Amino acid sequence: MIKSQVIKMMTIPFTISIAASTDDVLNETFALIMKPIRQRLAQVEQNYSAFRADSLVTRFQNGEDQLLIENSEFQQIYAATKEAQLQTEGYFDPMFSGKFDPTGYVKGWAITRIFNESLRPLLADPRIDGVCLNGGGDLQVASRSDWDFTCHIGIENPQDLQKFIGAYAIANGAVASSGVSKRGHHIKVFGEADLLQVSIIDPDLVMADVWATAGIAAGWDRFKELIKDHRLSGMAVTKSKIIEFDRGVMTNA
C-alpha cells in the first residue's frame, strides 16, 4: 500500500510518498520523517529564497561576498550552478536578473538532498518497498531492487493543464519539467522562445532540472543538438508538436 503526505513550502507542495507492507509501518515511518523534512525545507527557504531580505542569496546579491568563504553549503551551491552553466554550454544561467540567483537550481537540489537524507535510507527496512519525493511536479523516486514498485508520472499538457500528454513509469530515477504554463517566462531565453515545456528523465533530479531549464533557454533548434550531444531522455513540447527522445535519439522530431 502507498501513503502520501504534503508539506507546503516555497509556494509549492512537496509530496512525500511511501509504499510499505502495512498501514502501521506507514504511520510509524511518517511519524519519524515529517518533522525533519519540514525543518529542512524551511531552512532551504530561509537560506535560498531570492524574495527574503535576510536570505543568503539576497545578502550575497547585496555585496556580502564573504559568504562564499564563511558558508560551505552556499559555496557548494554557487560552484554547482557555475558547473551546470558550463555543462549546458551556458544555457542554464544562474544570473537570470543580472545577479546570482540559484532559484532554478535549488528546488531540485533540495529535493535530492532531502530524498537522500530522509527517504532513500528507509529502503534498508524490508517492510518498505519504495519512496518518492515530489516538489511541484519534479520528483525523485527509488525502490528496493527485489520489489516490483514503480512510480507513474503524468506529464501535463502546457496548453491544457487538465490533460496529460505523456506518462512514465519509473522505479529508480527522476523527472523534472520546465516551461511557461504556470510561472510565465521566468527563464532567460537565448534562442527562439518556441518551446512551451521540456521534461527530462535522469538518474539525478538536479541534472534533470538543470537540463529542463536549459532546454527552454536554448530553443528547439539548439536544444535538439544538445539532446544528441548529451544523450538526454525526455519530452519537448512546442505549439505544434510533441517530441520524445531517449538517450539522445528523437523518435518523432
Mean pLDDT by 10 residues, the chain (253 residues): 93 94 96 97 94 95 96 97 95 87 92 97 95 94 83 85 86 91 57 87 96 94 96 94 95 74
Nearest to 18 by CA among 31, 112, 203: 31
Beta strands in 10-47 (DSSP E): 12-20
Beta strands in the chain (DSSP E): 2-9, 12-20, 128-135, 138-143, 151-157, 160-170, 173-179, 197-202, 233-237, 242-246, 249-250
Residue 243, number of CB atoms within 10 A of its CB? 19
Domain total of the chain: 1
Report the distance separating Cα 213 and Cα 35, nearest Å. 31
Beta-carbon contacts of 7 under 8 Å, excluding residues fewer than 6 positions away, are 13, 14, 16, 34, 37, 38, 41
Query: What pLDDT score was predicted for residue 185?
Result: 44
User: What backbone phi and psi angles, to 5 degrees, belong to 183?
Assistant: -110, 5
Query: What pLDDT score was predicted for residue 175?
Result: 96
Pair 186, 195: CB distance under 8 Å: no
From the number of C-beta atoms within 10 Å of its C-beta (0-12, 13-18, 19+), residue 235 rates as buried
- Euclidean distance between the first and final Cα of the chain, in Å? 39
CATH number of residue 156's parent domain: 3.10.520.10
Domain range for 90 is 2-250
Query: What pLDDT score was predicted for residue 152?
Result: 82
Query: What pLDDT score was predicted for residue 103?
Result: 86
Pair 180, 159: CB distance under 8 Å: no
Query: What pLDDT score was predicted for residue 184?
Result: 45
In DSSP terms, 168 is beta-bridged to 153
Query: What pLDDT score was predicted for residue 96?
Result: 73
